[in-house]
Amino acid sequence: MDFEFSDEERAFVERVRAFLAEEAARPDAGEIMQPNRESDSILADTPARRAFCRRMAERGYLGLSWPVEFGGQGRSGVFEYLLNEELARVGAPLIGKGVGCIGQTLIRHGSDQLKREFLPKILKAEVEFALGYSEPSAGSDLAALRLRAERCDGGWRLNGQKMFTTSAHFADWYWLAARTNPQAPKHKGVSLFLLPMRQAGITVHPIETMGEHVTNQVFLDDVFVGDDWLVGEADRGWTYICEALDYERFTFYTFSPLEQKLDALIELAASRRQDGVRLTERADTRRALARLATDVETARGLQRAVIWAASHGEVPGVEAAMFKLFSTELHQRLANLALDILGPEGLLSKADPDAPDHGKWEWSYRATALDTIGAGTSEIQKNIIARRGLGLPLAG
């Protein structure tokens, strides 16, 4: 594997940085660029952030790796990684699930009508999606989902509940998994649908998590969806969901926030003293920082493996699982050491004017727990690595 970037790729990064410098001079830049929001910083969940995404679209930054026949640029997937890294560095919205998991899945499996309806809107950043996968009894075991889609004249009737649906409170469309054949084995008989979030029969109840991330319960009561809004073939949705989750894992999880967080942690340790000695002069603190610095470089290598696989036309499922598992748990280890360094002061929230670093580390400690759950828990990532990467059999 060659982990070095080409002259063309480095020039692309410079163009993105110039664009972001322009954006940073806007009066609403403080709303658009919010790195301390942790995983929430990737969302286009306000009018200003959605407008930013439309400006990215105007610059040609959406659909970089899509085939030309679908409005994309046919470029290597590495350019989307480079773009997302720069966006994550400043806490701006990433290119999103529309360009990644949904757009790519529609290109591969969607009907001509769905492609005409959604692909142009995605490329112009005119539409936001929510992913309707998890349910109260189907989280990590997603194939246990129970939301029913029953055949009716001209389409399907949906009844059931979804849980922990990020973006449902502001999204335009719902990318929804439902059980269409309850007699089939649980990994069969699942189908994917697209439907408007504001359709009659859909009720959204926001839930605020401990990291101040807003997720949602969604109830569907006798919701009609026509045959035209079925994604791919009926009863084959599990295959499409697995592909989409692979795209989500290697689209959303970036490296640059780890690098920035390590730098901030070193600066924090250098500014603190204990018994008159700077913490960076203590052997125990130096060992802890050195270990975390090594882990950050390991994360860099894992992420480069994802980029290399994607740029060679592969869907890097195992590579993305390894990076997602390691990097999300590393975010927690970084925040944990920061709180150890700060002691009782570290428990002050960002709402307290005396909170060190404006409460960054206390917020990070709470918020990073979410990242080990979204797009598949750490346990799910270990299963992917064991089964797909190591060829190990299923337990039991």
Structural element, H or E, at residue 223: strand 214-226
Res 77: pLDDT? 80
- The model's confidence at residue 97, banded by pLDDT at 50, 70 and 90, is confident
Res 141: pLDDT? 74
Q: What is the pLDDT of residues 121-156, one digit of tens each?
A: 999 999 999 999 999 987 767 778 999 999 999 999
> How far is the C-alpha of 111 from the C-alpha of 380, rounded, in Å?
30
Q: Which amino acid makes up residue 121?
A: K
> How far is the C-alpha of 74 from the C-alpha of 249, rounded, in Å?
21
Whether the pLDDT of residue 3 is over 70: the answer is no
Is 345 among the catalytic positions?
Answer: no
- The model's confidence at residue 233, banded by pLDDT at 50, 70 and 90, is very high
Cβ atoms of residues 217 and 207 within 8 Å: yes
List the single range of 99-113, 232-246, 285-299, 327-341 with lowest mean pLDDT: 232-246
Residues 85, 135, 248, 362: which is the catalytic one? 248
Structural element, H or E, at residue 92: none
Res 15: pLDDT? 97
80 backbone dihedrals φ, ψ, rounded to 5°: -70, -35
Q: What is the pLDDT of residues 303-339, one digit of tens each?
A: 888 878 777 767 778 888 899 999 999 999 999 999 9
Cβ atoms of residues 163 and 217 within 8 Å: yes
Q: What is the pLDDT of residues 182-225, one digit of tens each?
A: 988 888 899 999 999 999 999 999 999 888 889 999 999 999 99
> How far is the C-alpha of 9 from the C-alpha of 28, rounded, in Å?
29
Average pLDDT, the chain: 91
**DSSP for 123-183?**
HTT---EEEE--BTTBSSSGGG---EEEEETTEEEEEEEE-S-TTTTT-SEEEEEEES-TT
Res 248: pLDDT? 61
Q: What is the pLDDT of residues 51-62, one digit of tens each?
A: 999 999 999 999
At residue 352, the 3 state secondary structure works out as coil
Q: What percent of the chain has pLDDT over 90?
A: 68
Q: What is the pLDDT of residues 18-55, one digit of tens each?
A: 999 999 999 999 999 998 888 788 899 999 999 999 99
- The model's confidence at residue 2, banded by pLDDT at 50, 70 and 90, is low
Res 246: pLDDT? 63
- The model's confidence at residue 243, banded by pLDDT at 50, 70 and 90, is confident
What domains appear along the chain, each with residue ranges and CATH number? 7-94 (1.10.540), 130-235 (2.40.110.10), 253-389 (1.20.140.10)
The model carries a pTM of 0.88
Res 62: pLDDT? 96
Give the number of other Cβ atoms within 10 Å of residue 334's Cβ: 21
Whether the pLDDT of residue 249 is over 60: the answer is no
Whether the pLDDT of residue 283 is over 90: the answer is yes
Q: What is the pLDDT of residues 163-180, one digit of tens each?
A: 999 999 999 999 999 999
